[in-house]
Structure formats: structure tokens, C-alpha cells
Structure 1
Amino acid sequence: MGSRLLSLLSETWPPKPKWTTDDIPNLARKVMIVTGGNAGIGKETVKALLEHNAKVYLAARNQVRAETAIKDLREKTGKDAIWLKLDLADLRSVKGAAEEFRRKESQLDVLFNNAGVMGAKFEDLTAQGYDLQFGTNVLGHFYLTKLLLPTLISTATKSADGKARVVNTSSSGHHGVQTLDFSLYQDSPARRKIKSSSAGTYLHSKFANILFSNELARRYGDQGIVSTSLDPGTVSTDITRTLPPMTKFIIKTFLMYPVELGALTQLRAGTSPEGAEMNGQYLVPWARVGKPSAATEDQKQSEELWNWLEEQVKGI
């Protein structure tokens, strides 16, 4: 119990980073996707990847915001990211994005499942009627990963280290959940009776991100897939945009770190040579291998989640 508490405290108030973007190797001839790459940690991640010569698809739903981010990144790096239209809250859009990417590319070295929604109302739903936070953070990313797995596996077979990576953004908030509750995740009479707070489904989504990542690692590790999950840290990003103004002010003023630090953990998982050996591991701020809650190690829950997710995307 004591070691778990110390681990959580270390996630919340991490030491100074020992790994920085200067440690990223040359990424020339590498192809990567960053979901939510137009803002926050995602944009900072795209910036670092471009600076190290990767070909980067910036996946975002809003064309204006995506193009604004691409222009800003061009001014800072001298290089262009490529907009990939993706709305994770609409499974048909996810399918369209995967098809568009595969029309353009036969290679995908790293998929950063970075995008996220936090603070949505409990009544907010995705296009297919799922809780907006769980549907975006978990189901949308699951479907995108599933559709791109053939490309990732093909890339792994041709790469020098025999690996392709999927990096899944979770949160220290996952510690607040011990078990899945599928009655929360999809609109139904049972869900409407619960009248839960939106915070509950956000924490569930972050718990599920780790379960998904672990199950992906188990199922596809022998085919060259390296699946990691991570807590990026309490970072000042646009994800707080839907929170009440006073709550947002307090969090951003007293609890949050610069976005540059927040990108480090997923950048190490996705780009470092040692990251290729991190299949199934969980990383914590800043770019350290850590330990998630014991509940995330429950393989039965991971399998149950995977099977549920598979059912939801049938026929899309």
C-alpha cells in the first residue's frame, strides 16, 4: 500500500526530467499519427517529432484549428504536418480517417492515441450514443487502432527493430476506479437512472485506456506491436476548457505544469530506442517507467473490455 501511495505522489509531483527532447533520435523515414495534434500535449508532441524529421499526420476534427496549428508549427520548425480529419466521437469518422490514411501511406511506425475529452456533461453523447468521454477517449481510439493494426504490423515486419508502437494516454485519475461499469458507457434507461457525474466517466475512461493498452500488448506483442500507456502529468492544456471557470482557474494556476513537460513521457515511449522494449508498460511524468494501479493488472477485466469494444464497432 505504501509503495502504491509513493508511486501516485511521484506521478503528481514528479522530479525534474532526466530525459528530454534532445534525446530523441533522428526520425527520418518514420511515419506517425498524433490524435488531438492541434493543441496542448498533442501539438507539442507533433512539434518535437517534426523537429526530428518524422512525417507526422496531425489528426483532428476541426479543419480551421488544424490548419492554424500546422501553420504555427511550420513557423517554429520549418516543416509541415499533414492534417488527417478525425472525429473520435463519431465511429464513421474514425473509419473514414483510417481509410484516408491507408490510401496515402503503407507505413505507420507510431500511433499516438493522445486526444481526450474531460469535463463533458453526463448527458453529452457521441454520434453513436456513447458517453462522450468514454466514447472519445476509449472507443474511438480502440476503433482507430483496430483499423490501423494491419499497417502497424506490416511496418513492424519491415522495420530495423521489428517493432511498431501504439502510445496510449491515460491519467493518474485511473487510480480512482477499480472496476468497469458498462452501464455508464452507453445511452440507455439504466444509464439515465444513474445520473452520475461526468467526472466518473472520465476516470473510467482513463482506467480503460490502460486496460486496453495492456490487452493490445498481450494480443499483438508477438507480431511486433509495442503498446504502452502513460500519465502525461497535470499539464496546462485545452482539455480543461469545459470545466467551470473558477475550477479551471484554480487548476491551471496552482496545479498544472507547462505543456512542454507533458509531451516528454509519450515522446520517450514513442521515439526512444528503449521504448521499443516497453511493451505493456506504464510511464509516468516525466518520461519515467512507473506502476499503474493494481486493478489495471486484472487480465479478466482487460479481456472483458476488449470484447465489449469489439462488439460496439461491428457493422460500422
Structure 2
Amino acid sequence: MGLLREYFSQHYPPASKYTEDDVPDLTGKVVLVTGGNTGIGKETARVILAHGAKVYIGCRSPERANAAIEELKKLAGKEDIHFLQLDLADLASIKHTAEEFMRMESKLDVLFNNAGVMATPLEQLTKQGYDMQFGTNVLGHYYLTTLLLPVLRAAASQSPDGTARVVNTSSFGHLLAKKGGVDYKTLKPDDNSTSESNKARKKLGPDVLYYQSKLGNVLLSNELHKHYGKDGVVSTSLHPGTIYSELGRHWPAFQRHAMGVFMKMQPATLGAITQLYAGTAPDAKDLGGKYLIPWARVGAPSADGCNEEAAAKLWTWLGEQVKAFEENHA
């Protein structure tokens, strides 16, 4: 009954008490939105740009980014929006992006870790050989966030409320992850199709591997706040709503059609509301370590998402992967 109750609460939420009009003046704020060229990220970028922030959107394609930027300038009536080339499936790209950002900016007030992939084929891996979904959605955002900590801390020290915000987009799907938390066997497969790792990945399948990555987003957000909340870095995770977007492009056609019938009921403009609340609302400065649900409400993650030992274990694993990469690319 608990899962069913959460389903209806989050898929048929009450009208939001927080709207675009409630977003405060963001003049002087610097904001980075990963995946800001499409879907929820694009809507988030539009609103914060319209409210005066200097906005960066991080994504892979310059062509798509520049097209989105021109559109957003017209919609928002503001010009201060810029492209950062970012491939979250490549740790080298992430490091380059973070270094480029810190050459241009001395602070980062809000980081929207919004980008993600869903239900990618099992054979698709990141540049460093990780499961595409976990590698992009979790490891990629971990590396980007930790690299940007100097400018996040700097923003917190300069902000009137003493905070910078990191907003981590998770999903209702994290409630559907395999019980017991992250299955580390599935995160970096080898070339042997009969190995334990590949058997475990095949057993979970693309959808459950996605749910696992969304659980990872919650755990990462919680642990990030545990480590850096004292420095004013407020980290939240959230389910943005069941939104019609490009995220389901890897689903089979029949699944896209069936889900699209429902998902079109909730446009990307609504999906941005909870992110905007977490990233801009004055009272959200006190929500570090919390999990938000549609629309702009504090909710509760799964039992696995509340597991402090699991969050600490994931944090350690993520740090080990980054350390190994940096040692190999020194």
C-alpha cells in the first residue's frame, strides 16, 4: 500500500504553491544546468535566465545547445546564457568542463545536476567502461560536483543566506530499484558475456539499472550534504514529476507510446517547478539532505535511499573510481 500511495501522491499531486512567479530576483547569481538544452533542464534554464541569473548549460552537442540558447534568449528576454561542452559519460570531458568553468567564473551559486539517460541498451557503456546509466547519472555528476566545490564554497561565502545549492534530479523510479541498494557487480562489466557482472546486468535489465542510478542520485545527494553542508553547500534530491520529454528515447516504440499517453499530461514546464523551488526558494536553504516530490513538496525516499551506510559506501566507491582515473591520466 505504501508504494501505491506514493504513486498517486506523486503522479497526481496537488497544485503547486510555488510557481515561476515566485522565483526571486537572481541578478548576480551564476547557475549551471546540466542537460539544459532540452526538457526539464531547458525549462529550468529559461526561468532562471528570465529572473536575471547568468546561466550556463552543459551538454554534448554545440549545435543543439546553441539552438536552445537562441530560443531561450527570445523566450526569457535576456542574453546572459552560455554553452559548456559536457559529456557526463566521459570523465575526461567532465574534468575539462569544470576547469573551463572555473577559468571563467569565481563562484557557482546553483548547480542543477539535471541531465541523465534512461533505459540505455546494456551494451552501451561510458568512455571509461561503466554502466552507461550509473556512469552518467551518478558517477558523472559526482565528479562534476566535487570538481566544482571550490566555486560552490565561494558562492556560499558570498551569498546573503550563506548557501550555494546543488539540486540532484532523481526519479520516482528509485522506489522501484532492486531491494538492498546498489549492486556494485553491475557497474563496470568486463568483456566476458558469461561473467557474474554481465549475468547480473542482464537479470536487472535496462529499466531496473535506471532505477538503480536514480537511487544512486538520492544517496549521492544525501552524502554530499553530509560532507559539505557545513560549508553552506545545500544538496537536495528530487522527483521532478512524470514528464513528457526525450528521456524515454531508448524505450521500445510500444512503451514510448503507452507512457506518452499519460506523460503528455505533465509538461516540462511543470517538471521544472520542484527543481526551481530547491534551487531558488529562500526557505529551501534549510532542505539540505531532503528529498522533494511534485510539486515543491518535501517527501520521503525509499528505505534504501535513507540508508546512511549505503550512502557512505557509494561515496567511497565514487571517490575510488575518480582517484583511479586521475592517477591513470596524471
Same fold flag (TM > 0.5)? yes
SS in 2 for 1:83: strand
Q: Within 2, Cα distance between the matches of 1:168 and 1:18?
A: 21
Corresponding letter in the other structure for 2:142: F
CA contact 2:173–2:211 (8 Å) conserved in 1:
yes
CA contact 2:11–2:241 (8 Å) conserved in 1:
yes
Tell me what 1:191 maps to.
197
Tell me what 1:269 maps to.
278
Q: Which of 215, 229, 236 is residue 223 of structure 2 equivalent to?
A: 215
Tell me what 2:254 maps to.
246
How far residue 200 of structure 1 moved from its aligned partner, in angstroms, is 1.6
CA contact 2:176–2:211 (8 Å) conserved in 1:
yes
CA contact 1:217–1:279 (8 Å) conserved in 2:
yes
SS in 1 for 2:213: helix
Matched, 1:24 2:23: yes
Matched, 1:158 2:167: no
Q: Within 1, Cα distance between the matches of 2:196 and 2:42?
A: 38
* Aligned-residue RMSD, C-alpha: 1.2
Q: Any idea what the Cα deviations from partners look like across 1:139-169, whole Å, max 9, x if unmatched? A: 0000000100111012111211110110000
Tell me what 1:134 maps to.
134
Matched, 1:71 2:77: no
How far residue 180 of structure 1 moved from its aligned partner, in angstroms, is 1.1
Q: How does 1:166-205 map to 2 (within 5 A)?
A: 166-177=166-177, 178=179, 179-188=181-190, 189-194=195-200, 195-196=202-203, 197-205=205-213
SS in 1 for 2:148: helix
Q: Within 2, Cα distance between the matches of 1:77 and 1:263?
A: 15
SS in 1 for 2:242: coil
Structure 2 residue runs of 5 or longer lacking an equivalent are none
Corresponding letter in the other structure for 1:148: L
Tell me what 2:87 maps to.
87
Matched, 1:35 2:44: no
Q: Within 2, Cα distance between the matches of 1:225 and 1:255?
A: 33
Q: Any idea what the Cα deviations from partners look like across 1:14-49, whole Å, max 9, x if unmatched? A: 122121010000000000000000000000000000
Q: Any idea what the Cα deviations from partners look like across 1:247-282, whole Å, max 9, x if unmatched? A: 111111124411110000000000010111111111
Matched, 1:149 2:149: yes
SS in 2 for 1:313: helix
Tell me what 1:234 maps to.
242
Corresponding letter in the other structure for 1:212: L
Mark the CA change 1:246 to 1:253 in structure 2 (over 3 Å): closer, same or farther.
same
Tell me what 2:113 maps to.
113
SS in 1 for 2:189: coil
CA contact 1:12–1:172 (8 Å) conserved in 2:
no
How far residue 5 of structure 1 moved from its aligned partner, in angstroms, is 4.5
Q: Within 2, Cα distance between the matches of 1:299 and 1:291?
A: 14
Higher mean alpha-carbon deviation, 283-292 vs 106-115, is at 283-292
- What is the percentage of aligned positions where both structures have the same residue? 51
| TM-score for both structures, normalised by structure 1 | 0.97
Tell me what 1:123 maps to.
123
How far residue 217 of structure 1 moved from its aligned partner, in angstroms, is 0.9
SS in 1 for 2:135: helix
Q: Any idea what the Cα deviations from partners look like across 1:44-92, whole Å, max 9, x if unmatched? A: 0000001100000011110000001001111211223100110000000
Aligned residues: 315
Corresponding letter in the other structure for 1:79: K
Q: Within 1, Cα distance between the matches of 2:153 and 2:210?
A: 30
Q: Which 4+ stretches in 1 moved above 4 angstroms?
A: none
SS in 2 for 1:193: helix
CA contact 2:239–2:293 (8 Å) conserved in 1:
yes
Q: Any idea what the Cα deviations from partners look like across 1:70-116, whole Å, max 9, x if unmatched? A: 01111211223100110000000000000000000001000000001
SS in 2 for 1:58: strand
| TM-score for both structures, normalised by structure 2 | 0.93
Q: Within 2, Cα distance between the matches of 1:51 and 1:312?
A: 38
CA contact 2:119–2:209 (8 Å) conserved in 1:
no
Q: Within 1, Cα distance between the matches of 2:279 and 2:100?
A: 23
CA contact 2:236–2:291 (8 Å) conserved in 1:
yes
Corresponding letter in the other structure for 1:220: Y
Q: Within 2, Cα distance between the matches of 1:200 and 1:113?
A: 21
